[in-house]
Amino acid sequence: MDFSKIPGIDSLGDLKGKRVLVRADFNVPLEGGAISSDQRVTAALPTIKLLLEKGARVVLCSHLGRPAGSGFEEKYSLAPVAKRLGELLEFEVPLAPDCVGEDVAKLVGGLADGRAALLENLRFHKAEKDADEAFGRQLAALADAYVNDAFGTCHRGDASMTWPAKLLPSAAGLLVKAEVDAMAKVLDNPARPCLAVLGGAKVSDKIPLVNNLLPKVNEICIGGGMAYTFLLAEGYGIGKSLCDDQLVDECKKILERARELDVVMHLPKDHVVSGSLEDETAHEVSGDIPDEQAAFDIGPHTCVNFSDAIKRAKTILFNGPMGVFERERFSNGTQVVVNAIAEATQAGAFSVIGGGDSAAAVEHFGAVEKMSHVSTGGGASLTLLQGGEMPALEALVK
């Protein structure tokens, strides 16, 4: 899709006194009924505050957890989010008893300019995940305009993500706009050389991503568990390392396509191996991996090779760790890559960290502030980078 066609909040014009329905991502982790991390709440604040400053009457909505869809469930109530929003905004944010209905319409109708209310969990209604038009129209009827600031759900066609966007003047919030703009810098017209550093456990998750990136990048570094299906395709012994035998031929095709497109593919040449994750006798091997061993991280020579590729790059996408970085003895490869990307970014390269485990790794090694953009999207980031359908973004383009 053409990312440049996604409208921003300024396209909505004068919002003073207007009711603006904001689809946020308040799917926060809860422990004992309390929020254990408010990162998703604070991430939405710039958009909320901008709308409040414009004098809008902000109607916030979100899902939380996986309720059955048959009505209210206290453990999935957004009450803790309403409380936290009130603390952050320094005024009370009332929680509606539901997300549609007469009582909700009355609460929303009574909002003052520059104030906000939060609707109860959208997924208390099965119609939300069913993308039900009638339910979507009920949500749209609460507002004069719609803003989507829930990037992590943009790959879903839920009712709240699509119908209000189709029915109302609509725009992307600041969080969604930042995500889309960052991804566009990688996918549309990247500064070159353009490098993708890909990892993670499952090669099946990344095949569509590699295929979509091949015509767009100059080099690809492949680490993590996904690398070993590619290495088997190249004829290397991989021992007990992760492998998807059914995708060996697909990996061969990708390697051949890379050669045709003159894309340099960097695969691990040495590895940190062990009998199992629990086995503390981890050691380094080059070339073939012994039959009784499995690789859990890239080795030192591969670290140097990957780091050199990162230093050359002007645009860098990082999606997936190089090994089991949560275990210290298998963390070096991911740490080296993260540090190299941080250094390249500080030297002028543009870096995008693709969410999920990649974002967790960057946070783990204290490098979030050193990157150009760390995605909050997880599955949405991967879908966008794969060139997959993004129903919620497409609904914003009139």
- Active-site residue (options: 157, 200, 223, 356): 356
Q: Tell me whether residue 355 is one of the annotated catalytic residues.
A: no
| Amino acid letter, 88 | L
Select from 151, 44, 154, 62 the least CA-distant residue to 99.
62
Q: Residue 103 has which token pair?
A: 């009582």
Catalytic status, residue 129 = no
The pairing of strands 57-61 and 116-118 is parallel
Beta bridge partners of 7: none
The continuous run of DSSP H or E covering 195 comes out as strand 194-198
Which one of the listed residues 23, 40, 177, 185 is annotated catalytic? Answer: 40
Instruction: Give the C-alpha separation, 176 to 189, whole Å.
Output: 19
The catalytic residue among 202, 257, 314, 327 is 202
Cβ atoms < 10 Å from Cβ of 287 = 10
Which of 211, 244, 209 lies closest to 229, judged by CA?
244
Cβ pair 232, 275 in contact under 8 A? no
List all residues 6 or more positions away from 340 whose beta carbon is below 8 Å from its beta carbon: 306, 307, 310, 311
CA distance 376 to 166: 25
- Is 202 among the catalytic positions? yes
- Across-strand partners of 335? none
The token pair that represents 48 in the structure block: 């909320």
Contact 94, 82 (CB under 8 A): yes
Catalytic position from the list 55, 275, 379, 387: 379
Alpha helix positions (H), the chain = 39-53, 79-89, 102-109, 126-129, 133-140, 159-167, 174-187, 203-213, 227-233, 248-261, 300-312, 332-346, 357-364, 379-385, 391-396
Query: What order do you get walking across the sheet with 145-148 strand by strand?
Result: 116-118, 57-61, 19-23, 145-148, 170-172
Active site residues: 40, 202, 356, 379
